Structure 1
Amino acid sequence: MNPIRDYLFVYGSLRRKPGACSNHPLLAGCEWVGPATLAGRLYRLDGYPGAVDAGRGRVQGEVYRLRNGRRTLAALDRYEECTRHFPPPHEYRRVRRPVRLADRRVLSAWVYLYNRPTAGLRAIAGGDYFLQPQEQA
């Protein structure tokens, strides 16, 4: 019997930086699968993004296969502050969603979705956090 493979979709600070080959230390030991998209909308928060299930847009990101899913997800839950050790309502919630890889395959992957109201937030056009215009200081 094949074990269930856990995949993770990331779209913000956990993504590889453009032109770099390394990813966030929390993903050390995970296997990079490739670029992917998630149905939804991306918003600019306080220097980082938040994706929500809304609209017809696509959120740009990438997928990793988790080699030690339970331990990695526990560490990521702490990083995203969505464990019982943080007061609710949590800013993010971890859920499974279908994501589409560049080769059109669809996988079920864990993703951290923004869990608060989006009124007053600025949507990121094109759904790619790395391609958004940088604000002037």
Structure 2
Amino acid sequence: MSEQYLFVYGTLMAATRHPMAMRLARESRLVGNGTIRGRLYDLGAYPALVETGEGDGEVHGEVRALNSPAASLPWLDAYEGIVPGRDCDYERVERRVRLEDGRALTAWVYLYRKPVTGRRLIESGSWLAHTAARRSQSSEA
């Protein structure tokens, strides 16, 4: 069976030190940093990745190889609020991700399905850079 990959771009990135990111780190191996086509929006405590068409921008994140997809994907879906048969904010889909070294692979990713009207676009496409800037601004105030 081939490896299954997961692209994470928000609270599940290891650098956030979020408890669920730490769990994911234990249950997977870091493949490397990567990018995916789309736009990133600030929802407050976490970001939303939205696909909006070709040439829109890039979202930066990590690609992780799941040690046991059958064990990890159910709790990841629950963390993202995915309940079968319900209208959920996120959906898990497979998309092409480009790694820093130029390789491309297919990975699971959680896409936001709701309108982002009135939400702040994260121009950099990086949740880590965005939250670092937010912390810096709040400490200067």
Q: Which 4+ residue blocks in structure 1 deviate beyond 4 angstroms?
A: none
Q: Is 1:111 aligned to 2:109, yes or no?
A: yes
Task: Give the Cα separation in 1 of the matches to 2:83 and 2:69.
Answer: 16
Matching residue's letter, 1:80: E
Deviation digits for residues 24-83 of structure 1, max 9, x if unmatched? 213422111010001000000022101011252000000000110111111100111102
Q: Is 1:14 aligned to 2:12, yes or no?
A: yes
RMSD: 1.9
Find 1:30's aligned residue among 28, 31, 37.
28
What does 1:43-58 correspond to in 2, within 5 Å? 43-55=41-53, 56-58=56-58
Contact kept, 8 Å, 2:14 with 2:25, in 1: the verdict is no
Report what 2:78 is aligned to. 78
3-state SS in 1 of match to 2:124: helix
Task: Please list every run of 5 or more consecutive structure 1 residues that lacks an aligned counterpart in the other structure.
Answer: none
Find 1:123's aligned residue among 100, 117, 121.
121
Matching residue's letter, 2:74: A
Contact kept, 8 Å, 2:89 with 2:113, in 1: the verdict is yes
- How many pairs align? 130
Contact kept, 8 Å, 1:12 with 1:49, in 2: the verdict is yes
CA-CA distance at 1:4 after TM superposition: 2.0
Contact kept, 8 Å, 2:27 with 2:72, in 1: the verdict is no
Per residue, is there more helix in 1 or in 2?
A: 2
Q: Is 1:40 aligned to 2:48, yes or no?
A: no
TM-score, L = length of structure 2: 0.85
Contact kept, 8 Å, 1:9 with 1:110, in 2: the verdict is yes
Contact kept, 8 Å, 2:39 with 2:121, in 1: the verdict is yes
Task: Give the Cα separation in 1 of the matches to 2:86 and 2:109.
Answer: 19
Contact kept, 8 Å, 1:27 with 1:72, in 2: the verdict is no
Report what 2:66 is aligned to. 66
Task: Give the Cα separation in 1 of the matches to 2:88 and 2:71.
Answer: 20
Matching residue's letter, 1:64: R
TM-score, L = length of structure 1: 0.87
